[in-house]
Amino acid sequence: MASARRASLVMLVANAEGSGRKCACCGAPTPTPSMCACWDHWMVLPEDLRSELLRSYTRDELANYHRALLDAVRIWQHLGVWRTVSKARV
């Protein structure tokens, strides 16, 4: 548990120095540049949507990527987490 927490902190720090992408939902840095959301928001998305987001992003299929991102936004809104910062983060 503690080591997983430290690993995610390391990823956040590494991201802050680099080509940071921000979570499409809450604006927190994403764990990797190919992910469009922070870990908390990423993990609530269905697995097939996550793989579609990664696939379309890495292949530069912007139309597919945007469609997947809109699906993700709908899911976040449905879950009531849209544009809210995780309490665990504060």
Rule CB under 5 A: say whether 21 interacts with Zn ion: no
Q: What gap in Å lies between CA 72 and CA 63, rounded to an integer?
A: 14
Considering only 21, 29, 35, 41, the residue that binds Zn ion (CB under 5 A) is 41
Beta strands in 1-90 (DSSP E): none
Considering only 26, 36, 68, 69, the residue that binds Zn ion (CB under 5 A) is 26
Check if the beta carbon of residue 29 is closer than 8 Å to that of residue 17. Answer: no
Closer to Zn ion at the Cβ: 59 or 74?
74
Considering only 36, 38, 45, 68, the residue that binds Zn ion (CB under 5 A) is 38
- Cα atoms found within 13 Å of the Cα of residue 69, Cβ hemisphere only: 16
Closer to Zn ion at the Cβ: 41 or 50?
41
